[in-house]
Amino acid sequence: MKKMWGTFLLLTIIILFTGCSSAPLNLEIAKDDVMNYYDSGKYDAELDNVVKHAESEFNSIQPGDSTVVIFDVDETILSSYDFEKDLDFGYVMPLWDKYILEAKEPAIKQTKSLCDFLVKKGFKIIFLTGRKNDQYNATYKNLFNDGFTKFDTLIVRQPPEFDYTALKYKSLQRTELTNRGYKIVGTVGDQYSDLDGPYHGIQVKIPNYLYIIK
Ligand SMILES: [Mg+2]
């Protein structure tokens, strides 16, 4: 009898455990967790560590005339966290497009600091973003107004590239830059699709708990 109770208890635990593990997190709880992470300083602390580690890695490289580090823009250099929080983390394309054209996105202070560090050491900076060609001027203005005044190039998607995945688009752009003579020694981005593919150099993954781009 004792053995039967033991078996019953074990089965109950397995069923409960299996049931719990397959249930998704309630969306409100997930949003609260994300907001708490960003607003409590934990996101900043994680980012401090990422940038500190990146600086030590880049310190081992002596830049030449064409040595370049590629930076993504959204959630790597510019933060849309406050904007997305105001929208309760929903994605509404017309509102997002309007927000980009306002060119008032704040810089992420840690990656701004990394960028400044690299410029001072003699690395070229190229911004490679999935934003489209009609957003070029606003993006350039936003970056410039946030203090990014010494970058080499800003690359945005052209019409033939609109349907490419981020991974394909960024891989092709890095290949093209390499063919033109740039030596890419590092890539900084909040998405793995920013970092994977050829010619990435040192990969610096910036934390992003708001969305995933494949
Ligand atoms: Mg991004």
CA of residue 77 to ligand 1 center, whole Å = 8
Q: What pLDDT does 11 receive?
A: 41
* Cα 138 to Cα 101: distance, rounded to the nearest angstrom: 5
CA of residue 68 to ligand 1 center, whole Å = 18
Domains of the chain: 41-205 (3.40.50.1000)
CA of residue 39 to ligand 1 center, whole Å = 20
CA of residue 16 to ligand 1 center, whole Å = 39
CA of residue 3 to ligand 1 center, whole Å = 56
How does pLDDT run along the chain (214 residues), one tens digit per residue? 444 444 444 444 444 444 556 899 999 999 999 999 999 999 999 999 999 999 999 999 999 999 999 999 999 999 999 999 999 999 899 999 999 999 999 999 999 999 999 999 999 999 999 999 999 999 999 999 999 999 999 999 999 999 999 999 999 999 999 999 999 999 999 999 999 999 999 999 999 999 998 7
CA of residue 191 to ligand 1 center, whole Å = 6
CA of residue 91 to ligand 1 center, whole Å = 15
CA of residue 180 to ligand 1 center, whole Å = 24
Q: What pLDDT does 16 receive?
A: 46
Q: What pLDDT does 17 receive?
A: 46
CA of residue 203 to ligand 1 center, whole Å = 14
Strand order in the sheet with 153-157: 153-157, 124-132, 67-71, 183-189, 202-205
CA of residue 111 to ligand 1 center, whole Å = 12
Q: What pLDDT does 214 receive?
A: 78
CA of residue 115 to ligand 1 center, whole Å = 15
CA of residue 81 to ligand 1 center, whole Å = 12
